[in-house]
Structure 1
Amino acid sequence: MAQKTFAFFPEAAFGPALNSVGIAQAVERMGHKAVFLSDPGFVEVYEGYGFEAHPVNLSEPMPPEQMAKFWEDFINSHIPNFRKAPIDQIDNYVKECWEAIVDSAKWAEEDLPAILAKIKPDVISVDNVVLFPAIKHFGVPWVRIISCSENEIEDDAIPPHLSGMSENDTEGHAAFRAKFNEVIKPIHDDFNEFLKSTGEEPYPLGQFFEPSPYLNLLLYPEPVTYDRAVPLDPARFQYLEGCVRQDKPYQVPTFKKNNDGPLLYISFGSLGAGDTDLLKRLIELVGKTRYRAIVNVGDYKDSYSDIPDNVIIDSWFPQPSVIPQVDAVIHHGGNNSFTECLYFGKPAIIMAYVWDGHDNAMRVQETGHGFRSDRYEWTDAELIEKIEACLTDEAMAARLKETSAHMQSANGQEKAARLLVKLAEEQ
């Protein structure tokens, strides 16, 4: 088969970006070419892995460092809203996110046609929550990657995306959908006007993207999937079982205290690291226990002092290399952290703050793979009780072992690459 070109267009966040990198690496191992369409701030990330990357403006052009600061400031300005229930974040954080997302689709439409004409991809993979019409119009198969929670593909029988609600809370589902549609309607009307200007049909209220008619790849692992009213067609929807990337090795350092104690990993992701008060509270708690902890504090390392001898902090860790070596994880519910804990069979306590972290927190608890915890309303005793359960619950350990074996046997990156190559071959 002649070499094909596969274009990847992930959302400008490390989770989607690095998942696509893993799939792209598998595509190249099969003898094909992978290129990236990229938010300008992420071009160096892809180039660092040896890929060709083409910048696509998703907002008013600005230097990459200024763009990174914009999103950091955006998240930090919403820290007070992290205390709110998901339904009460709709008219602040969620609304502002959708405004920015719709603007990104409009900006991308200016750059994408010329870039696609230059690259001439045979297949385009998009990991985002909004339609980019130029990709749909280019005339080659396009694939939707869903690296967030599985309920991004909606179904009437499961909790709405971003709601963090229980499977059985049908009244809550209806209330969340009603409020979401009410708040989002002006933004959605504007998006539909944009779609109309590109020759696209309008979407129903609340919808900003559609499943691909060709192929949809879900990062979610099957052991924690929802029971849908309408099962997803396996001809078009395939699960990648976490698709965990490989990262550089990590050696756990020697701790000055509790060096034989249970080891925790605590991380709220690059953006969630701005919630320094919460991380300081967790560090202080660990300092009074028999545990050890590795803590990701992002770009805020200078904000910390008097670190206990059983805690090590740093600005970044190769997370897929760290998690296999720890006993339990406390994280924000980002889908990489969620799936990596399952992939390596590690129990998690999820303190969600925004987006699909709420859904993943509920899912980890409802499927018996860990616990959800309020982000702020907990006592030391309550959190230690959850940690101890993560360390000693035999039923949870058995369930995690089974889920881990299932995910690791699947090799999601290779599976994704095979499916993409097969799609190219069929054209």
Structure 2
Amino acid sequence: MARFLITVVPALGHINPTMPIAEELKRRGHDIAYASGSDMQQYIENQGFRFFTAGFPSFKHYTSYALRKMFEYQGLVSNAFFFKVLIEYNRKLIVDLPPVIQAYKPDVLLVDCITHGGAQLAEVLNLPWATSHPIPGLIPSRDATPFTSWGLPPSQNPAVRACYRIIRLGQGLFYRMFDPAFNSIRASLNLPPLRHCVVTNTLSPYLILIPTCEGFEYARSDWPPQAHLIGPAPWGKVSAQDDECAWIDALPHDRQIIYVTLGTVQVFRSLDFYKTVIAALRDEGYFVVMSIGPVLDKKELEPVPEGFRIEPFVPHAKILPRCAAVIHHGGQGIAQDCIYHGLPSLVVPISQDLYEIATRCVSAGVSLKIPYPRLTPQRLRDALRKVLTDQSIRAATNSLQARFRATNAGATGATLLEQLARTKQPVYRPGSAS
């Protein structure tokens, strides 16, 4: 039996992709624990895993200037504020995690791709460690479309690809602006400096688990040899929290059900978004279920029209089988959950990597996209009608659904982590150059 400690930011979009792997490892007799923000304790313990507190309680409590500005701006400006948040988070983790590691004594760390403190402490302690990477576009590449927060589409046009090479060079210069701050933290731990720390700091030399597959993620020729695309990782285990959602079983069967969510992190623009949804769909004859997250008070959306249900949290595994379509923000988790359940979607990206995921959805043919600054009730109405009736979107969704369901992220990820725990050596893809 091995002991696995999973260090992850307090966001369900990063926690849930690790859950099928953790569940499978537990089923095989291993010991599993999580280290995350305190607001995630009840959720993680409800799934049956041991919990340690590390880092910010959650993003809803972490209301620093940098975090607010991260959601207000787009592109490089948004990224700059995001990197400042990561630096602050990293500084807290390298204080909080050492006593957790000392108490739990893990054989392997599984580190989320933006949990820099976990990666650095694994280096310091010479622990075998793996990366859980639900944002694979951040992994550097010579030939993949640049991951810019602008949502650039893939292209085979030589002129466009030449422009993309220039953008990648600019990205490298931009990343280097933040190397001094990240490397000062590394120096405090007696670790050597890295280049482009913000994207390379958490890339394990042992094993990188990527919860998606090609067909959704863009193809590339230069994945690191220790990177494994294990397939999407939908999490559908029923917990005590789900007992409060028995109302889902009573939803009407004679109306199309539309599920609407901005996830659990997009908290600063959510009120205007949900008001727009209500204005757009109140007279359309759908039954609309809106999951508004942990911050917004649903009283701010009153009076709630007939045909709407507003909840702070709705488990995807219960609601998605009842839906005709989904309106979401472009989080990797909900985007892939929609495809896994065969649901077309309308994506309204707000900031950060959401524009990138939205473009992946459109490129795969499974979604339409309305950037948040262009969202109006009329545009939302028209786009949703097309999503529900366009046969090409339906066909692309069904095709990618079959590809998703041919994978088993939990079993594949668990087997790779077992190999790492057993050998303490890098786990390379068969046939890859080590």
TM-score (norm 2): 0.85
Q: Give the 5 Å matches for 1:120-135.
A: 120-129=105-114, 131-132=116-117, 133-135=120-122
Is structure 2 residue 231 aligned with structure 1 residue 241? yes
* C-alpha spacing 1:172/1:358, structure 2 compared with 1 (3 Å): farther
1:151 counterpart (126, 137, 141)? 137
- TM-superposed CA distance for 1:225, in Å, is 2.2
Distance in 2 of aligned mates of 1:80 and 1:101: 17
Q: What percent of counterpart residues are identical?
A: 20
Is structure 2 residue 208 aligned with structure 1 residue 216? yes
- TM-superposed CA distance for 1:71, in Å, is 4.0
Distance in 2 of aligned mates of 1:311 and 1:7: 41
Conserved 8 A contact 2:280-2:380 = no
- TM-superposed CA distance for 1:314, in Å, is 1.3
Conserved 8 A contact 2:258-2:327 = yes
Amino acid paired to 2:288: A
Counterpart position of 1:194: 185
Counterpart position of 2:284: 289
* C-alpha spacing 1:286/1:73, structure 2 compared with 1 (3 Å): farther
Counterpart position of 1:352: 349
Distance in 2 of aligned mates of 1:140 and 1:424: 10
- TM-superposed CA distance for 1:79, in Å, is 5.5
Distance in 1 of aligned mates of 2:298 and 2:376: 25
Conserved 8 A contact 1:267-1:273 = no
Counterpart position of 1:408: 405
Q: Give the 5 Å matches for 1:10-409.
A: 10-56=8-54, 58=55, 64=57, 68-71=60-63, 80-81=72-73, 86-87=74-75, 90-91=76-77, 93-129=78-114, 131-132=116-117, 133-148=120-135, 150-161=136-147, 162-168=149-155, 169-170=160-161, 173=164, 177=168, 180=171, 185-205=176-196, 207-233=199-225, 236-248=226-238, 251-254=248-251, 260-274=254-268, 275-298=270-293, 299-409=296-406
Amino acid paired to 1:152: L
- TM-superposed CA distance for 1:297, in Å, is 1.9
Q: Deviations over 1:353-379 (max 9, x none)?
A: 122211110111011111121213144
* C-alpha spacing 1:75/1:201, structure 2 compared with 1 (3 Å): closer
Conserved 8 A contact 1:330-1:348 = yes
Unaligned residue ranges in structure 2 (runs of 5+): 425-434
Give the SS at the match of 1:271.
Answer: coil
- TM-superposed CA distance for 1:178, in Å, is 5.9
* C-alpha spacing 1:172/1:300, structure 2 compared with 1 (3 Å): farther
Structure 1 moving runs of 4+ over 6 Å = none
TM-score (norm 1): 0.86
* C-alpha spacing 1:297/1:412, structure 2 compared with 1 (3 Å): same
Deviates more, 1:5-14 or 1:400-409: 400-409
Distance in 2 of aligned mates of 1:347 and 1:267: 14
Amino acid paired to 2:257: L
Distance in 1 of aligned mates of 2:351 and 2:406: 31
Distance in 1 of aligned mates of 2:94 and 2:71: 32
* C-alpha spacing 1:193/1:286, structure 2 compared with 1 (3 Å): same
- TM-superposed CA distance for 1:231, in Å, is 4.2
Give the SS at the match of 1:329.
Answer: strand
Conserved 8 A contact 2:364-2:396 = no
Unaligned residue ranges in structure 1 (runs of 5+): none
Counterpart position of 2:432: none
Distance in 1 of aligned mates of 2:102 and 2:376: 57
* C-alpha spacing 1:72/1:202, structure 2 compared with 1 (3 Å): closer
